[in-house]
């Protein structure tokens, strides 16, 4: 079991002790790496784990609402994506998620999404595997064609009933009549203050419980079934890519360093260095829509 300390699996921005992760790779990490070296490692890998974060979706125009200049009204994601905010102001939180759902429904996969999906399909024919472990809650990896996908932070396109727990895929637009044309992000827009009985409600038998987005809020723990699958992939992969993530939201931020501590090559693709760059064998700086298609293209040694 790689994630021995279950206390750290709650989603949050906390700083994880770096002491437990120090290993021999610390000395070999470099700021910008040689792509031809990475390509040699890639050509030999049999089980590739690709961890993706908001940067991949940002290139499709899906905002994260984490930066100081990326607010929804006057709030950032962590102010609204919490159990406390949902129980205090379910109407405001639903407006926020309605806005994000509508936005995501209208976006197309980026070059990075497509490169990952194409790589999975190509390598599968060679008896090799690619798994995508994503923090993104939109549907863009699946739309691009990725099949082996672990959505560790849940999905914007699913709901979960707070009364009976029923989870359902839901891509309705708008999700309910009261949210039609609501959720505008501008700072001067007032809350719609929709009565709770007009918010999305459960359709299971006579339940009628309040629905919430089936995403992992800050402070909540990840689904244990998905976490077990992630652990299996972390233990068996022989190459890991960490793509478009700032590596500050836990527990996902420690997946790459945990894999690196096993001696497995880890390559980071991001617009900037991150707090975890020093743990990785490779670092490729730039938009992942530019770097990933080069990195994952067919290698001369592949026979298909």
Catalytic residues: 153
Q: 165 or 263, CB closer to Zn ion?
A: 165
How far apart are the C-alpha atoms of 129 and 29, rounded to whole Å? 26
Whether 159 contacts 171, CB under 8 Å:
no
Of 252, 251, 51, nearest in space to 149 by CA: 51
Whether 259 contacts 240, CB under 8 Å:
yes
Please tell me the number of Cα atoms within 13 Å of 12 on its side-chain side.
Answer: 11
CB of 223 to Zn ion, least distance (A): 18
Using CB under 5 A, which of the segments 89-97, 167-175, 203-211, 222-230 binds Zn ion? Answer: 203-211
Residues that bind Zn ion (rule: CB under 5 A) add up to a total of: 8
Q: Kind of pairing, strands 282-285 and 239-243? A: unpaired
270 is in an annotated binding site: yes
244 is in an annotated binding site: yes
Longest CA pairwise span in the chain (Å): 61
237 is in an annotated binding site: no
**3 state SS of 149:** strand
Using CB under 5 A, which of the segments 190-198, 206-214, 250-258, 279-287 binds Zn ion? Answer: 206-214
Q: 154 or 265, CB closer to Zn ion?
A: 154
Whether cis (ω within 30° of 0) applies to the bond prior to 251 is yes
CB of 95 to Zn ion, least distance (A): 22
Using CB under 5 A, which of the segments 32-40, 79-87, 116-124, 157-165 binds Zn ion? Answer: 157-165
Q: Print the binding letters for residues 158-177 with Zn ion: x by CB under 5 A, - otherwise.
A: ---x-xx-x-----------
176 is in an annotated binding site: no
**3 state SS of 158:** strand
240 is in an annotated binding site: no
Query: Is there binding between residue 207 and Zn ion (CB under 5 A)?
Result: yes
Whether 279 contacts 23, CB under 8 Å:
yes
Of 218, 290, 277, nearest in space to 245 by CA: 277
CB of 213 to Zn ion, least distance (A): 15
Among 209, 286, 287, 293, binds Zn ion (CB under 5 A): 209
Residues in touch with Zn ion (CB under 5 A): 161, 163-164, 166, 202, 204, 207, 209
Per the annotation, binding residues for Zn(2+) are: 161, 164, 202, 207
């Amino acid at each position: 079991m790689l994630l021995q300390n279950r206390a750290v699996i709650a989603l949050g921005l906390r700083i994880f002790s770096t002491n437990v992760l120090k290993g021999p790779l610390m000395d070999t990490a470099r700021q910008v790496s040689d792509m031809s070296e990475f390509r040699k490692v890639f050509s030999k890998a049999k089980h590739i784990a690709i961890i993706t974060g908001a940067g991949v979706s940002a290139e499709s125009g899906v905002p994260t609402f984490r930066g100081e200049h990326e607010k929804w009204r006057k709030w950032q994601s962590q102010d609204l994506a919490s159990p406390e905010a949902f129980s205090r102001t379910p109407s405001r939180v639903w407006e926020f998620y309605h806005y994000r759902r509508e936005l995501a429904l209208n976006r197309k996969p980026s070059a990075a999404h497509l490169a990952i999906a194409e790589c999975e399909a190509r390598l599968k024919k060679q008896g090799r595997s690619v798994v995508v472990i994503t923090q993104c809650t939109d549907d863009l990896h699946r739309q691009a064609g990725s099949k082996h996908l672990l959505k560790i932070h849940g999905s914007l396109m699913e709901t979960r009933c707070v009364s009976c727990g029923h989870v359902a895929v839901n891509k309705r637009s708008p999700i309910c009549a009261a949210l039609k044309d609501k959720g505008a992000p501008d700072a001067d827009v007032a809350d719609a203050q929709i009565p709770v009985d007009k918010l999305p409600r459960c359709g299971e038998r006579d339940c009628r419980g309040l629905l919430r987005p089936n995403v992992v809020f800050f402070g909540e723990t990840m689904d244990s079934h998905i976490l077990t699958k992630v652990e299996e992939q972390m233990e068996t992969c022989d190459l890991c890519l960490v793509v478009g993530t700032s590596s500050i939201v836990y527990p996902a931020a420690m997946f790459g360093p945990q894999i690196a501590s096993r001696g497995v090559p880890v390559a980071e693709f991001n617009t900037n260095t991150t707090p975890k760059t020093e743990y990785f064998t490779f670092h490729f700086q730039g938009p992942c829509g530019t770097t990933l298609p080069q990195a994952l293209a067919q290698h001369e040694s592949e026979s298909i």
